[in-house]
A and B are shown apart, each in its own frame.
Chain A
Amino acid sequence: MAEEVVLLDFWPSPFGMRVRIALAEKGIKYEYKEEDLKNKSALLLQMNPVHKKIPVLIHNGKPVCESLIQVQYIDEVWHHKSPLLPSDPYQRAIARFWADFVDKKIYDLGRKVWTTKGEEQEAAKKEFIESLKLLEGELGDKPYFGGENLGYVDVVLVPFYSWFYAYEKCGNFSIEAECPKLIAWAKRCMQKESVSKSLPDREKVYGFVLQLKKAFGIE
């Protein structure tokens, strides 16, 4: 039976990028559908009635929602190629712990960096860098969080690299100066086609952030 895979997505979404990377790593052919979040499609509302959010992965007509769940689902269904999670249960737990850490910290702190000013922004920048440093600690001397190859945590974290430039411009700081190892890791990931083709150009993301700031009335 032919596999039918559809991804409902929005080009700057780091959560969507995770799924794009996972699908590319596994060599899965899929139909990409761009959603206008100001005018969500009937399909999106039907496939994700609870959250009404992207990304939504539709496999043979059945929807899977939430990016971490989607990446694990892809890894389990297409398990014969490019495994993303390790096979050892303890290593899997460590990977899930750090993926959860990324979800708890990076998106919200990054958002605070570009939406706030003054003391609030300084506090957000500080905590953001601290979180990245903890991730650097977990990476250690490995080329990827997954070891010799791209793994679950790499797929979960690297999409935010496309937003770093926007955070830096809005927050007036250099992430590379504080976290050189992490930037080296991100550039290493970008050498893989599965990653470079899944992440938008950083200038484009910055332009998008500026548009949002204007729309929200943030200076």
Chain B
Amino acid sequence: MADVKLHGFWASPFSYRVIWALKIKGVDYEYIEEDLSNKSELLLKYNPVYKKIPVLVHGGKPIAESLVILEYIEETWPGNPLLPSDPYEKAMARFWIQFAVAKASVYRAFFVSTGGEDQEKARKDWLEVLKILEDQALGDKKFFGGDTINLVDISYGVLAYWFKNTEEVIGIKVLEPTTLPRLSQWVQNFMQVPVIKENIPDSHKMLAYLRIVREKIIVAEQHNK
């Protein structure tokens, strides 16, 4: 029986954050795929507050929320550090990780936008967020973590893969070399990192899935109007 288990979902960027961190740290774990339309008893027991994945279970003890899990992994397996040791630099890394949380609603607005003025505004707002990220968080570094990826890069994996696929679903490009040269380069560099490259969902499946999810949300929002 594995000491470390991960309850995840194949299409979830949050699930992948945990997978990448565990792999970088060389931690053996058992992966349990959850059917989100039919959640397991175990998942509901391990995460009664949100009933969501990912949940990491270590020695029978569960931890929920991907960012909490990432900090736990970092502290429990200190080899191959994924956060700076200096308290100030650590605070800055956490700041940029939280920036994504603060701007999630801007991402969502773009994700569900269907056209016209609304979509143009959503695109502009989202582009502004990405510009701040490129300019102030990434700067001229290869990765947010410097020469190698760290928790900040891992938490922004959602941009490198899920957002790029979203652009294809919506048919609008925002994160491109002409508008965001350094961030675009970061996407390429990030996707080439072996642990990332070898642990990423299938593109075809992902595109199909994103299309379905987007449709569902758009229909639901229209019903709520």
Which A residues form the contact surface with B (CB < 8 A)? 49-51, 59, 62, 64-66, 68-70, 72-73, 76-77, 89-90, 92-94, 96-97, 100-101, 134
| A76 to B92 alpha-carbon distance, docked (Å) | 14
Q: Which of B66-74, B118-126, B156-164, B216-224 contacts A (4 or more CB under 8 A)?
A: B66-74
Q: Contact at A72–B49, with CB atoms within 8 Å?
A: no
| Given A66-B95, A72-B94, A90-B61 contact (CB < 8 Å) | yes
In the complex, B102 has a CB within 8 A of chain A: yes
| Given A51-B102, A92-B75, A100-B91 contact (CB < 8 Å) | no
Q: Contact at B65–A100, with CB atoms within 8 Å?
A: yes
Contacts beyond the supplied A50-B136, A70-B91, A100-B67: 16 A-B pairs with Cβ under 8 Å: A50-B99, A59-B88, A64-B91, A66-B94, A66-B95, A69-B91, A69-B98, A73-B87, A73-B91, A89-B72, A90-B61, A92-B71, A93-B68, A97-B64, A100-B65, A100-B68
Chain A neighbourhood of B132, CB < 8 A = 50
20 sample A-B contacts, Cβ–Cβ < 8 Å, listed by A number: A49-B136, A50-B99, A62-B88, A64-B91, A68-B98, A69-B91, A69-B94, A69-B95, A69-B98, A72-B94, A73-B87, A73-B90, A76-B90, A90-B61, A92-B71, A93-B63, A93-B68, A93-B69, A100-B65, A134-B49
Q: Contact at A72–B91, with CB atoms within 8 Å?
A: yes
In the complex, B178 has a CB within 8 A of chain A: no
In the complex, B76 has a CB within 8 A of chain A: yes
In the complex, B58 has a CB within 8 A of chain A: yes
| A70 to B91 alpha-carbon distance, docked (Å) | 8
| A176 to B87 alpha-carbon distance, docked (Å) | 39
| A11 to B210 alpha-carbon distance, docked (Å) | 44
- One digit per residue, 1 when the CB lies within 8 angstroms of any chain A CB and 0 when it does not, for chain B 81-113 equals 000000110110011001100100000000000
Q: Contact at B72–A93, with CB atoms within 8 Å?
A: yes
Smallest beta-carbon distance B174→chain A, Å: 19
Chain B neighbourhood of A134, CB < 8 A = 49
Smallest beta-carbon distance A46→chain B, Å: 13
Smallest beta-carbon distance A212→chain B, Å: 22
Chain B neighbourhood of A62, CB < 8 A = 88
Chain A neighbourhood of B49, CB < 8 A = 101, 134
| Given A50-B132, A89-B75, A96-B94 contact (CB < 8 Å) | no
Nearest 4 CB-CB pairings of A with B: A93-B72, A89-B75, A76-B87, A73-B91
| Given A76-B90, A101-B49, A66-B98 contact (CB < 8 Å) | yes
Smallest beta-carbon distance A89→chain B, Å: 4
Chain A neighbourhood of B76, CB < 8 A = 89
Chain A neighbourhood of B67, CB < 8 A = 100
Chain B neighbourhood of A50, CB < 8 A = 99, 132, 136
- Of all chain A residues, which has the CB nearest B137? A50
| Given A50-B132, A72-B94, A97-B99 contact (CB < 8 Å) | no
